[in-house]
Structures are given as structure tokens and as C-alpha cells.
Amino acid sequence: MSQHHQPGFGTSQQPGWGPPPPAPKRTSAGKIVGLGCLGIVAFFVVVTIIGAIVGSGDDTKADSSNTASAEPGVKGDDKGTSVATSSAPAAAQETDTDTGTDTAKKDDAETATLPDMKGKGLQSAQDQAQAAGFFYLTSHDALGRGRMQVLDRNWKVCSQTPAAGAHPTDTKVDFGTVKLEEECPAKDAGTVAEAGATMPDFVGKSVKVARQALDDSTSITVKDASGDDRMVLLESNWKVCGQTPAAGSEIDGRPVTFTAVKFGESC
């Protein structure tokens, strides 16, 4: 009699029970999907916050523009821009001038008595003029040699402009002077005058004065008229004996030549 075997016992078939199968592993694709969702949510949150900030900034600008248009002296036009207004009375006050101001200043100028300084030393004359209230002082070489009064105590006054008397204290006082050992000229030679388009007569005047009278661009040559071929170093000590071009000739950029000797010498 054949035997029947129950399935699962004594056979080679796998049993129907045992440990549960392992859980499936999460893939990287799942992680990416999760992160993507979080990114979308964060994006919408940031956009919402930025929109709120921008909206509040527009309100602030609107308030500030309204406040600016309400400032005194400024009005807003139809386009919302600010237009400055001017005050007509203020402008009128600025343009209104007193035409008599200069006249009043001249009338109010202080007047004092200028002493007669002729024959006095230049330094003493200047001190006395200042003591009298006159401070606009100058001096020149009365002999017309163009010398500078470097040491005032070595010079004496031959003439003065203006003359002694009452004058406004802001008057310019000019002293004509010579050195202490020199004689005052019968007529003051005055200050150096600039030459025009024609050649002046420089004969008898110092080479320095002649040079100062001519234009700075003029080419000038100075020769010793004595024939000793001396160098003319201090031109205020030399007087002109001859000149080319002649007096009255047109200069027009022409070179100028002087012959000269020292003062005290004969040409």
C-alpha cells in the first residue's frame, strides 16, 4: 500500500514560513524629489516677504514726496515735481543799491595836514608823513636815472607830490629824491614813461631808464662811447650819448643800440 506524504515534510520543497523579506532601500531620486518640494515652498515664502518690503518702500517714498511738496517756498506742479518759488521783495532788496555810498565815503575820508618835507632825509620824511596820518608813500630818483632808494637814510627829498597842506589821509605821497652828496635838479625828471610806437629821445638819460621805457621784447645793445670798450654793468650809472633808431623814428620791433658813458663823463 502506497504511502502519502504531506507536503512540506520530508520533501525537497522550500518551507512556506521563514523571516520577512528585507525592506526596499530608498533611492537618491526620492531624496531629490523631497528637496525639490522644500525649495519650491521656500521660494514662495521669499517672494512673499520681498513683495511686502517693496510695497512698504513705495508707501514711504510717496509720503516723503508729499512732505517735500509741503515745504515753505516750494510748490508741487501737476506732474508731481517740485518747483522753487522766489520772493520778489527779497530780490528787490538785493538789487536796490545806494548810489551815494561812494560819495559818502569820500566825504567821510579823514583829512590831515601834510608837512613840507623838502630838504629832509627820506627816512625822516617818511616817518613824519606817517605820524601825520599819511601811509601811502612812494619815492623816485629826481635825476631821472631810475635808481632805487634801497637805503632811505642815504637819500634826501627834493620835491613832493602833493605839496604841503591839507589832504585826505589816503592820498598817495610821492617824494622826488637824490643821494645825500648830490644836488637837487632844477626840475624833477619824474618817473619812467613807457615809449609808444615811436622812439623817444633818450640822450642824457640813464641807460636803465631807456631800457625800462622800451617794450620788454625789444633787442637792446649798449656800447661804451669812450672807446675803452668797458662793460656797462650798472646801467643807472651810465647816460645815453647816442641812439639808433633816432628819436621820432618808428620802432616796430627794430633792434635798438645805445652808446653811453658814465655820469660825470663827457660824451
Dihedral, CA of residue 189, residue 193, residue 191 and residue 168, to nearest 10: 120
pLDDT at 260 (0 to 100): 98
Q: What is the model's pTM? A: 0.56
**Is the separation of the CB atoms in 206 and 241 below 8 Å?**
no
**Is the separation of the CB atoms in 249 and 199 below 8 Å?**
yes
In one letter, which amino acid is 100?
G
**Is the separation of the CB atoms in 155 and 117 below 8 Å?**
no
Q: How many whole angstroms separate alpha carbon 239 and alpha carbon 224?
A: 10
The CATH 3.30.10.20 domain(s) of the chain lie at 111-179
pLDDT at 27 (0 to 100): 47
pLDDT at 28 (0 to 100): 46
pLDDT at 7 (0 to 100): 44
Q: What residues in the chain have per-residue pLDDT under 70?
A: 1-109
List the one residue out of 107, 86, 104, 88 whose CA is nearest residue 96: 88
Q: Which set of grid coordinates corresponds to residue 234?
A: 650798472
pLDDT at 40 (0 to 100): 65
pLDDT at 151 (0 to 100): 95
The topology under which CATH files domain 111-179 is Trypsin Inhibitor V; Chain A (3.30.10)
